[in-house]
Structure 1
């Protein structure tokens, strides 16, 4: 908890950078009658998470001069009792406010960087004895020479990633010294995703066979709850980039859910997480065990919690809003809201490209939605526009995605293939299959 300097009852909630899934909080909290204050930061704009001001939002740089202390004073004056990180760009500021506002639920205030800087994150896991991937950091502005690079890729391939970022941007798999030098240079000699100067991390590659899972959590009062587990299907592009193709939902009683839940709790403890939604990407096979790939101290992006809610009746955003109503409005907190069931199979397919391609015709959302099992489709591609080969999740989102449900795994696989085929046919100007 932040140190108490006021006895005024908490009345409102601040959402820092309400973009992507962070945009869901205002509606859900508004339905509960809880006042919400929205705050934009320049980091979100620099990172391309928003292109214009959020309607009705305050501006951290313009209204508060970029001063966390001035923003804190405003929050005290407006009886802010809870702070939400609406996007990765807002995690650091959210952490500061939680720790400094009177009676606001907060994370462990020691070394908050471990919740948003991957170098500090993996160091914290190692220090706490949580199994993690071996990681070497190369400072901003530094580039290894070819001999140093040869040592770093001695157990090739390895993964190179920025210490600060989002959306898998800048994450590459490399196998040769020259590839490593190029990957590191692209990170350490250029502004990062949010305009920072990130370090480059060289990390061992999780051994094959490997399956990546995403564990959605909500933490409160020393309790870590799992509100959804997804499995990622991905491939490595010709340039070594990780391209995400699909995510599917895992039932709470389906292996390896119990192993992932236990590991997630250990990770959250090591990172000092005490409150809030979070999601972590974890590699797993039974021989090696789980290993963290990345963690976000905020909700799963791209509106994914709404899809989880549609399949399971809950999500970590819905659970967090229930907890906020408990903190701010004194409403009871459900004993059963911290777990989920999965009565139906579901998946999200991300559209992607193997090479730069012009969109010949914008795929029809109505036509795709009419296909069996399709619950929702978002097409962001525009006819006539040129799109690069997909290199990150953000590149995929620039094209679009589809949310699909089915009764069995096989039926889900078949439906996903059909939707992807229809999208690609329209995108490339070919005649689509009859619906």
Structure 2
């Protein structure tokens, strides 16, 4: 069997190897998304690359010539094109009655609400005046403002006043999103109080398999921007899992995610789980080998098995996750305007008792930007131990190192 991966960037770069382990060959589809020629694409793992130039029928013909029987998005920019190609090829794909709801966060909220599920109060608008009126009527601060179709924490703002809202609206609409799209409108939503979780799943022919549940911990950076701090897997027996997972599976149905991976974020509020957003692709920014080692499975392997052998999912033969120790994924946060990573202090990080692995996502020997969102983080690392106190102590030591030597500041650098 041959599968096509649309925009194999980020976690999508791991897909060819995962699929190959289960006997599935890969074709890479390079979308026409602007400025997406990233260095993290696993080009060597593809025998064929097809460039999409806006003509879905032509791209589908090329894929048909290579015997493609399944299409999957490698990253967020590939979600809509993967769906359109699946529909054109007639292969197993997602529902096409409202495909934009899998990318446009306002359409997503509307689709989930119409399915009778809890959602955040929201408005999408191109008018600062309409936004201000909505905020006054809503009368609850802070208000969350973000682009309608981006990824990560790209231009997500917490606004505590009408002035904050005005400034955030102007900032977001003045720039493009992560994938080069114009932010002609913005999405504003009520701030949801409660713990935030992400749920990774894989689906085949409308049946869903739970891969893992993690709990986020975020902290503000750059004034009002939420930033990933650390995240930890939630044991399957945790009461939150029994509450969050059925809601998430209903969200997948509402968004017609029937074939492929999904990464869904929810907040467990006093009134129950409420959607933050869902993505019809594999979850981002994790090391599959580490996750599999400590959880007993990972989303990429489950996705590959569901493609190669759909009956494994249908007959519930895919592995269930089970944390084997206290694992913590920690996002690196550089507090300087310009800095380079100190090799000496990186060695100290690697010597922490609970250290497992470190992944740098920006060049180590180049000046680093101050971290203001996920895309300006230098990378991430994993800590794991049988004792939660050991992990917590090493985490605090890491954060102390970040303020005191891990980032060697240029002469002009200043702490944030």
Alignment of 1:365-384 (within 5 A): 365-379=346-360, 380=362, 382-383=364-365
Deviation at 1:84, TM superposition (A): 1.2
Aligned to 1:300: 283
Aligned to 2:414: none
Deviation at 1:57, TM superposition (A): 7.3
Alignment of 1:399-414 (within 5 A): 399-414=378-393
1:131/1:52 CA distance change after superposition, 3 Å: closer
Deviation at 1:53, TM superposition (A): 9.0
> Partners in 2 of 1:149 and 1:259 — Cα distance?
31
- What SS is found at the alignment partner of 2:405? helix
Matched, 1:188 2:178: no
1:57/1:191 CA distance change after superposition, 3 Å: farther
- For normalisation by structure 1, the TM-score amounts to 0.86
Matched, 1:340 2:321: yes
Deviations 1:260-285 (A, max 9, x none): 11111111111111111111111114
Q: How many residues align?
A: 406
> Partners in 2 of 1:150 and 1:271 — Cα distance?
27
Deviations 1:96-132 (A, max 9, x none): 1122213x21111111011111011000011111101
Alignment of 1:12-411 (within 5 A): 12-43=2-33, 46=35, 50=39, 54-55=43-44, 56=46, 63-102=51-90, 104-139=91-126, 142-144=127-129, 148=133, 151=136, 154-198=139-183, 199-207=185-193, 210-237=194-221, 239-285=223-269, 287-326=270-309, 335-359=316-340, 361-362=342-343, 365-379=346-360, 380=362, 382-383=364-365, 385-388=367-370, 390-396=371-377, 399-411=378-390
> Partners in 2 of 1:50 and 1:149 — Cα distance?
42
Deviation at 1:331, TM superposition (A): 8.2
Query: Does structure 2 retain, via aligned residues, the 8 Å contact 1:349–1:420?
Result: no
- What SS is found at the alignment partner of 1:318? helix
1:85/1:423 CA distance change after superposition, 3 Å: same
Deviation at 1:295, TM superposition (A): 1.1
Aligned to 1:8: none
Query: Does structure 2 retain, via aligned residues, the 8 Å contact 1:361–1:384?
Result: no
1:386/1:411 CA distance change after superposition, 3 Å: closer
Residues 411-420 or 293-302, more deviating: 411-420
**RMSD over equivalenced CA pairs, Å:** 2.6
Query: Does structure 2 retain, via aligned residues, the 8 Å contact 1:168–1:392?
Result: yes
Deviation at 1:394, TM superposition (A): 1.3
Deviation at 1:161, TM superposition (A): 0.7
Deviation at 1:155, TM superposition (A): 1.6
Deviations 1:275-306 (A, max 9, x none): 11111111114x22111111111001113444
Query: Does structure 2 retain, via aligned residues, the 8 Å contact 1:162–1:171?
Result: yes
> Partners in 1 of 2:55 and 2:47 — Cα distance?
17
- For normalisation by structure 2, the TM-score amounts to 0.89
- What SS is found at the alignment partner of 1:131? coil
Gaps of at least 5 residues in structure 1 are 1-10, 431-435
1:402/1:360 CA distance change after superposition, 3 Å: closer
- Counterpart among 354, 373, 397 of residue 418 in structure 1: 397
> Partners in 2 of 1:51 and 1:307 — Cα distance?
19
1:263/1:408 CA distance change after superposition, 3 Å: farther
1:363/1:156 CA distance change after superposition, 3 Å: farther
1:282/1:113 CA distance change after superposition, 3 Å: same
Deviation at 1:147, TM superposition (A): 5.6
Deviation at 1:334, TM superposition (A): 6.3
